[in-house]
Structure 1
Amino acid sequence: MDVEVERSPSEDTRRLIDEGLDTYNAEKAGPDNAEDLWIIARDDDRNPCGGLKGRTFYSWMFIDWLWVSPSVRGGGIGERLLVKAERVAQERGCIGAYVDTFSFQAPDFYRQSGYEEFGRIDGLPPGHACIWLKKTFAVAQKS
């Protein structure tokens, strides 16, 4: 058996590994119900000025990234993107959200939005930290 580094594995190889892991996970944890999530902010001319890309699976939303154009930062667009994504995640049955961000990016933004730090790697990248934050959504009481 050989174990090799492959810079560009074939599509068949990628699919085999992806499907193998998906099958294993489903056997152990049930279906993940994975679904991508894109929230886009547009200016008055309909040009994109911000966006959030995430994914919902296993009852949680992972935020891949959230970006707001420097020309409109500080105007509440990031908060609007996050609130809308959280609402969609809850509609999809999610109980919470999590994200990783660098210390020079937006950890305070997420903290102000109710996220709590649950992990970090200092020195990633050098001189900074990679920080993981999560938020558990409030569950509405049924009457």
Structure 2
Amino acid sequence: MINMIQPSAETENEFVKSQLIQYNLHHVPAAKEKPYQLIGYHIKDEAGTIIGGICGVLYWGRTCLQIDILWLHESYRKQGLGSALLRRIEQEAVAREVHLAHLETFDFQAKDFYIKNGYEVFGVLEDCPIGHERYYLKKKL
């Protein structure tokens, strides 16, 4: 008999995640080398304070780049630093034979910035959160 659905602790979540990864590896054998690899860059000011950064993950045998976070302190925006961080992570991805980058952003964040940097919208999730849109973007590298 199957037990009732129960809340998961971190160990159960990690087990479920590992099982899905194992399943995925059967369908994308190239991913066995390193299924997920974190990648990121940051910028510091003259005082050594971090003023911006970009974080992502290479996956599927390092053929795809998912950009998770791009942040710049407000006083350093619109100076080309965000585009420089984006180009840097893309350059590293290309050097590792990545062919596709993707990300998500909200209507109150940076959709137009990403489009200006060569990304295209391939999906929109409306009312996420209520009254806003979540955009999914991609770029061939």
TM (norm. structure 1) is 0.88
Q: What's the offset of the Cα at 1:14?
A: 3.1
Structure 1 residues 38-53: aligned runs within 5 Å = 38-53=40-55
Q: In the alignment, which residue of structure 2 is the partner of 1:23?
A: 22
1:35 counterpart SS class: strand
Q: Percent same amino acid at aligned positions?
A: 30
Structure 1 residues 86-105: aligned runs within 5 Å = 86-105=90-109
Inter-partner Cα distance in structure 2 for 1:77 and 1:120: 27
2:71 is the counterpart of 1:67: yes
Letter in 1 for 2:136: W
Letter in 2 for 1:24: Y
Spell out, residue by residue over 1:70-115, the C-alpha distance to the aligned partner (whole angstroms, 9 max, x if none).
1211111111110000011111110020000001100000000000
Q: Which runs of 5+ in 1 are unaligned?
A: 138-143
Letter in 2 for 1:26: L
Q: What's the offset of the Cα at 1:69?
A: 0.4
Letter in 2 for 1:2: N
Spell out, residue by residue over 1:106-133, the C-alpha distance to the aligned partner (whole angstroms, 9 max, x if none).
0000000000000001111222100000
Instruction: Give the root-mean-square deviation of aligned CA atoms.
Output: 1.4
Q: In the alignment, which residue of structure 2 is the partner of 1:125?
A: 129
2:17 counterpart SS class: helix
